Amino acid sequence: MSGAVADDAVARAMADELARTSKQLVMPGMAPPHFVSYCIEDTLSAKIVATNGAIVESNQKHDRRFFVDIRVGDPDLDNSFFIGNGRDVFGRPMNLVEEDDYASIRHQLWLYTDVAHKRALGNLASKKAYLASHPVTEEIPDFAAAESATVEGEPVDLDFDLGFWQEQVDRACKALGAFSGLQEWQITVHAEASNKRYSAAELLDELRQTARDFGNEYGLLVKRLERPEISSRYSWSLEPEESTELMTDPLIMYKVYVDDGRIEPARGLTPDDITVRSLRDIIATGDTAKAFNMLLSMSGQPDACAASVVTGSILVEDAGFKADTGREPMPVSERPLVVAQ
Q: What is the chain's pLDDT, residue by residue, as a tens digit (341 residues)? A: 333 444 588 988 988 898 888 888 888 888 888 888 899 999 999 999 999 889 999 999 999 999 999 999 888 899 988 876 666 655 678 999 999 999 999 999 999 999 999 999 999 999 999 899 988 888 888 887 766 666 677 888 999 999 999 999 999 999 888 887 777 889 999 999 988 887 543 466 778 888 888 889 988 888 777 766 555 444 444 444 444 556 777 878 888 888 877 778 888 888 877 776 677 777 777 767 777 776 666 555 556 677 777 777 788 877 778 887 665 555 555 545 443 43
What predicted TM-score, i.e. pTM, was given to this entire model?
0.54
Where are the strands (E) in the chain, listed by range? 33-51, 54-74, 77-78, 94-95, 148-149, 186-198, 200-201, 218-225, 250-257, 263-265, 269-271, 282-296, 305-316, 321-323
CA-nearest of 199, 196, 200 to 40 is 196
CA angle 235, 241, 246 (to 5 degrees): 35
Backbone angles phi, psi at 88, to 5 degrees: -70, -25
Cα pseudo-dihedral 17, 42, 196, 97, rounded to 10: 0
What whole-number distance in Å separates Cα of residue 7 and Cα of residue 4? 9
Helix (H) or strand (E) holding 75: none
Query: Which residues lie closer than 8 Å to 129 by C-beta, 6 or more apart?
Result: none
